[in-house]
Structure 1
Amino acid sequence: MVPKKPHALLLWMLVCSGGSTEAIEPISTSIAVGMAAALTGFLATYPNIFYYFNECCRPEWISLNKTALVVGIGATLGRTIYNYLHESCEPKWIALNATGLKVDLDRKLFGQHIASRIILKAVSGFMSNDNPKKPLVLSLHGWTGTGKNFVSQLIADNVYKEGMDSSFVHIFTSELHFPHASQLETYKSQLQQWIKGNVTNCAHSMFIFDEMDKMHPGLIDSIKPYLDYYDKLDGVSYRKAIFIFLSNAGGESITQTALDFWKAGRDREEIELRDLETLLSLAVFNNKKSGLWHTSLIDKNLVDFFVPFLPLEYRHVVQCAMAEMIVRGHQPNPSVADQVARDVVYFPKTERVFSVKGCKTIESKLDYYL
């Protein structure tokens, strides 16, 4: 049953009025007990009442204003409201849908058996741990169009009710947010403050750093303490946050490995993480054009997983085209998907094995064929 908004508004006004001890006089014990009983019944009848309000993540004001609630509207009623807000807020907006993530990875991410397996296990394990020792740090690598940004979206969609629109998901793009090398020190300070402020607001914040291969070397080291094994730094715990780095760096090593397997007549599904992880971390660490060049994040083993995204083949481009048709509400047409896939540029030039841009141009190409 859908609750009526006026009731929700009145309840919220009652809660907010407890924020100041001068707002109303303390309520007598007998009245408070009666109100608490009525409120408990109301919340049981309308369990989704707070969906009418803004996205929340056990904000600090709930904890800070417990005393104000108790003093302002009475001990029993104040504690009832406090406990309900504190216990019901975060799970409503932030909770991993592990089944949903698995289904999305299986049905929407094509040609990335290694990445799918790592992402599912890493995110599921982290989110199910009530007391992680450090934040989850994932570094996604591969050529453009292979699915790095898309995977970040899938993670957000299955962790946050609002997905990428969540106020707890933050995206940094190197060329937009950190364009000038001359302002590196200013960027370091700003980045630290941004992350500290957002984690203070919500422990389960997620930070996505796009275009790491274009980031100024040394900048990302400014947040190294936040990714380390610390209980708290200046009273703030970063252990429940998620950091995702996206980069084209290392793409050459990944592609060469995939090409070697193809030349040897081996199936790409035979490629395993151990075939790429060490090679990838070294390639990124020693790439002077990468924001992870000689970074302490790698040197101190703070990156939990280097996730390789393999170059996509013709069959994967076909799958991307079919999936895009479904998104647009069209009946999947194998003939159209085949035409789109054939129109993509592949390499090596003679063999035409891998798509140069992955699935990046599929959306625009479909406009022509549909």
Structure 2
Amino acid sequence: HANMAQSTNDSFPTSIKVCTNKKALRLITALARLADELEKKSVQFKDVLKMGRTHLQDAVPITLGQEMGSYASAVRRGIDRIDHARAGLHVINMGGTAVGTGLNAEPTYIPIVAEKLSEVTGERYQTADNLIDATNNTDAFSDVSSAMKTTALVLIKMANDFRLMASGPRCGLSEIKLPKRQPGSSIMPGKVNPVIAEVLDQACYQVIANDLAVSLGVENGQFELNVMEPVISHNLYMAMNCLTNAVNTFVDKLLVGLEADEEHCKAWLDRSVGVVTALLPHIGYENSAMLAKEAYNTGKPIRQVILEKGILSKERMNHILSPRAMTTPGIAE
């Protein structure tokens, strides 16, 4: 085999796939850390009742732990998405040489490359069924890039939720307390910004931009070779490194030290009229709407209005509006 002429047309894409696989595993490890820590927070905050919101408006109660659990679930889905996309990286074109026909490559050599590569890396690689296809098409890289981009969208949503919940501290929601990672604003003393959540946001924006460059590179191959692999690999590696580092930073510098502001969560919940939704099966829509309107117009807590109207006893009201009844499936008996 020493005299065989090997072309960069098959060695370069294979090397990119091996490197991409390695970096993808680093990213998956970082995302798994994030999911693990979110799941820890879901347990830590399981009894912190707060107001759920839809359309940025008061909805019905939820626990902070349930919210953290939902973020963990979404991150786990991102891990599965990226891991599934990696399958295409294990199919290589080594032995295809110039255009995929295998010219000047000993037939017995071709499968040996995949075997040896599997031994060296610990990942199972296999020779493509169609070496011409594997030489001129690079869509496997697009699959991985797209999976990262979609995961980045999920992370942006999560990071922005954290920023909103931490808004304040006096004139915002102030439902969670982020670790203070900066001395404060250069012009407003005492103001501490959610910079770590913003780091994750910006890293994810970069991943989205990198995905576009990868997409353009993948579609711009002509005939038997895609000569755009340098820009594909550059943007893949940049995206993976950027996202891996940002996720680890988010875990270490924000999530581990995250605290709940239970008093503020309770204050918002007590002021909300959204809890009236739990009363629908018990007192009907008209009575519930009447209570909500009264609470809005007078500014009184909904519980006070219920008792003043004599619609429910205090014991019955507290049972229906208990945290367990309002944050689990079913109707309070």
TM-score of the pair, normalised by structure 2: 0.28
Which structure carries more relative contact order (alpha carbon 8 Å, separation 6+)? 2
TM-score of the pair, normalised by structure 1: 0.26
- Determine which structure has more spread, i.e. the larger CA radius of gyration: 2
Report the structure, 1 or 2, having the larger helix content: 2
